[in-house]
Amino acid sequence: MHEKMNKLFNTSILFFLFFLFACSNKATVEEISDNTLVAVVNGSDIVASEVRTEIQFLISQFRIKNKNNLAYEEKLQLKLNGLNRTISNRLLIMEAAASNISVSHEEYEEALLLAMSGYEGNSFYENMKIRGVSKKLWDKKFKNNLIIEKLIKNNHAGEVKINDEQVRQYYDNHQKEFKKKQEIRARHIMVATEDEAQSLYKKIKSNKDSFSELAEIYSLDPGGVAGGDLGYFSTGQMPEDFDSIFSLKLNQISEIIKTPYGYHIFIVTDKKPAQQMSFNESKKRIYNNLLRDKQAKVFNRWLLKLKDKSKIKIVNNVASKIKL
């Protein structure tokens, strides 16, 4: 986990923040109220609830199964990354506002449809809920990211170019990256208690009621109205708690899986085997990845300059005391 999270650090405030965090006493970790001031960015307050939200996205991104099992230093690093991201995002949103950059309803809906492609019914937001991220928080984060992407594109679009030769060369040298993972389609039921899960499990096993009917009646997830259908997904798209379902056979029922969000039962309804992608299938993805990598380098240099000219005040030790 350390190796992945280290990539999120921005050197302009890394050492300062780490010094502040490291000097805090382990015993002082406590429940900080949502409106507790954590930092001030160009006169704009950042409070604990905003940092907590960013930390939750990090936990989801890195598929952390149980945050309580993290070492103190790992929790500290999560908080550091959460604060650093929150500060960076606030600066970028402020910069976008100063440049009169916004996202229209049509632009938002178009980007949302693209993000949700491959998911059916409510399964997109159901996956978010399973990861512990609410629809409201995800929507707000998604819109802010669209504004930031637009800001970056407006400021740096002409600085980065990728040609066809670079794309082809990358494909030829990285064949293993373009093997499609096995995909499965599954239905899902989530309930609050183990007794309820056991009762439903027995009904499914005895064929007294169909899985989809039980999902519609009992599942706590929005996808229950669609019979619990999650659509197609591959490993890495779901929390690690659910990795065992990829070994299930077609129409096989999973064991009951316990997570911090409830008790879960799955049934696999379809499987797509792993296969090698052709160059034509891969080139758009390669182009976007190469472009994103080069843009990131240009963007990070620009963000560093933006931070250097900004007034950023960190309230001593407060972020380190946020309880995960």
pLDDT over 50 (residue 15): no
In the structure, what pLDDT confidence band is assigned to residue 7 with cuts at 50, 70 and 90?
very low
Cβ-contact 218, 191 below 8 angstroms: yes
Strand, coil or helix: what is 118?
Answer: coil
What stretches of 99-121 show up as alpha helix (H) in DSSP?
A: 105-116
Mean pLDDT of 144-169: 84
Q: Out of 57-61, 187-191, 286-290, pick the least confident.
A: 57-61
With pLDDT > 70 as the criterion, what percentage of the chain qualifies?
Answer: 87
Note the pLDDT of residue 19: 43
Task: Please write the tens of the pLDDT for every residue from 68-126.
Answer: 888 888 888 899 999 999 999 999 999 999 999 999 999 999 988 888 876 766 677 77
* Side chain identity at residue 223, one-letter code: G
In the structure, what pLDDT confidence band is assigned to residue 171 with cuts at 50, 70 and 90?
very high
Rounded CA-CA distance 242/244 in Å is 5
Which helix (DSSP H) or strand (DSSP E) does residue 184 occupy?
strand 183-191
Note the pLDDT of residue 118: 65
Task: Please write the tens of the pLDDT for every residue from 278-320.
Answer: 899 889 889 988 988 887 888 888 889 999 999 999 998 888 8
